A = this chain, B = another copy of it.
Amino acid sequence: MLAKKTVARPPAKQRTPAFRLPFTTVDVVIFTVLEEALCVLLVRRPNADSEPYPGKWALPGGFVNVDIDTTLETCAARKLAEKTGVASPYLEQLGSWGSVDRDPRGWSATHVYFALIPAKHIRITKGANATEVAWFDVNEVVEAADLAFDHSTILATAVDRLRSKVEYTSLPAFLIPEPFSLPQLQRVYEIVLGRSLDKSGFRTRMLTADFLEEDSYLEGLSNRPAMGYRLKDRSAPVVFPRTFGR
């Protein structure tokens, strides 16, 4: 089947295989922190009766386009940029979901990524196709569990993964614009985790992990000015040797 013996460049044209293929999609769970809440970006499904889940909210995503997408990750980055305009977010693969019945149109498998972006960097593009796009409080969306397809399950998994990694990594630093103060960063940790943390221990952990560099003082946004910080390396989070207590 499908003769091709060299291990070189892919063929410009792909022969139709002898067996049926699942659909391949990519979805992106885009998180940010907005008004003291962890938020996720959702898009409304078109209202046409020919589409599955018309009018329902869903994670942004869609079919892989074999003509323009070269990898799954660039496909995810493309879909993210289309909705938010953000070019280089923190982007990590979450996993994949595939089954015969997750899409009424037939066997489908989706590759899911999750992205962390600072709220200030976003311009929500109610694009040419007039698709509705909006931010939602994560807790409420997970509670309602009313998204299209299996997206409620996927979102719940993404939130679990985010929360567990926040226990021992610097991931929340990707959720706020730079420069930020340590109290601001701590607030983001607390919003994501849903519990308060000790100030003193938080500071020593962040500073000894040596992933922040001092910027200028941040004045005016609270009573006393706070030291502003930036990430030394925006490409990956730092891993701490322990989790937070309690």
Which A residues have a C-beta under 8 Å from some C-beta of B?
Answer: 1-11, 14-15, 17, 19-24, 49-54, 63-67, 69-72, 93, 95-101, 103-107, 109, 111, 241-243
Contacts of A9 in B (CB 8 A): 101, 104
Q: Which 8 pairs of residues, A with B, have the shortest CB-CB distance?
A: A14-B106, A72-B98, A71-B99, A66-B107, A21-B21, A22-B24, A96-B96, A5-B49
- Shortest Cβ distance from residue A36 to the other chain B in the assembled complex, whole angstroms: 28
A interface SS class? loop
Cβ of A242: which chain B residues have Cβ within 8 Å of it? 241-243
When all copies of this chain in the complex are counted, the total is 2
Indicate whether A111 sits within 8 Å of B96 (C-beta atoms), given known contacts A10-B106, A11-B106, A63-B19.
yes
Query: Nearest chain B CB to A57's CB is how many angstroms away?
Result: 14
Contacts of A51 in B (CB 8 A): 5
With A24-B21, A50-B5 given, is the CB distance from A64 to B98 under 8 Å? yes
A107 and B64 within 8 A (CB): yes
Q: Which B residues are CB-close (under 8 A) to A69? A: 100
